[in-house]
């Protein structure tokens, strides 16, 4: 299959998922746009959007290392697994934002969040190991894994009990994660 088909499918799913999440939010009774509930929901949505944008940036960057325009079944199915986790994000975002004190909603959101980061890291590692042994990609993967274990994973686990940990970690990671100026 041609790489551009994989990119088109991925871009379409990212666009739909990033849009769908906001459509699920409702204006609170009384129309108070500054209620604590609505502000928390907005914070969770912004966090979700930043995560998806960061993962899309990383996904796009990793695919630039595939110099061959053809992709095989391994790349396709790895990409599909990542897209499955991404497509679950709107549902889990709304559950988490609507029921912030529900342990199952928080755990579902955090687990999906973790699996998405692991998914993009595994996808990137697959491209590096099997298809594009680039020093730039190897170093980027190493940095991604360190950030995951030292910042993101602890922040995600803390957010199960303190809701604001994940948004803070997400914004800090996004500031350094998605900058890819060293394309090969």
pLDDT tens digits, the chain, 184 residues: what are they?
888 999 999 999 999 999 887 777 777 777 778 888 788 888 888 888 888 888 898 899 888 888 777 888 999 999 999 999 999 988 988 888 888 888 898 889 888 888 988 899 889 888 888 887 878 877 877 887 887 888 778 888 888 888 788 788 777 777 765 554 554 4
Are residues 109 and 167 in contact, defined by beta-carbon separation less than 8 angstroms?
Answer: no
Taking each helix axis as running N to C, give the angle between helix 36-63 and helix 135-147, from 0 to 180 degrees, rounded to the nearest 10: 160
CB 127 within 8 A of CB 79: no
Q: Is the distance from CB of 63 to CB of 184 less than 8 angstroms?
A: no
Task: Report whether 17 contacts 86 (CB < 8 A).
Answer: yes
Q: Rounded to whole angstroms, how far apart are CA atoms 71 and 6?
A: 8
pTM of the model: 0.82
Q: Is 174 left (phi over 0), alpha (psi -120 to 50) or beta?
A: alpha
Amino acid 184: pLDDT: 44
Task: Enumerate the β-bridge partners of residue 11.
Answer: none
What φ, ψ does residue 76 adopt, rounded to 5°?
-60, -50
Contacts of 93 (CB under 8 A, 6+ apart): 21, 24, 44, 45, 48, 109
């Amino acid at each position: 299959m041609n790489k551009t088909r994989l990119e088109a499918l991925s871009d379409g799913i990212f666009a739909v998922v990033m849009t769908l999440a906001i459509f699920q939010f409702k204006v609170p009774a009384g129309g108070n746009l500054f209620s604590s509930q609505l502000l928390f929901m907005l914070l969770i949505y912004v966090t979700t959007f930043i995560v998806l944008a960061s993962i899309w940036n990383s996904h796009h960057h990793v695919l630039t290392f595939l110099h061959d325009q053809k992709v095989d079944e391994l790349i396709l199915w790895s990409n599909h697994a990542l897209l499955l986790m991404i497509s679950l994000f709107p549902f889990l975002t709304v559950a988490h934002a609507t029921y912030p004190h529900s342990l199952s909603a928080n755990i579902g959101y955090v687990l999906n969040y973790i699996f998405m980061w692991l998914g993009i890291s595994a996808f990137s590692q697959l491209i590096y190991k099997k298809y594009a042994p680039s020093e730039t990609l190897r170093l980027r993967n190493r940095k991604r894994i360190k950030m995951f274990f030292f910042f993101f994973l602890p922040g995600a686990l803390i957010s199960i009990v303190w809701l604001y940990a994940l948004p803070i970690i997400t914004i800090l990671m996004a500031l350094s994660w998605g900058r890819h100026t060293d394309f090969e």
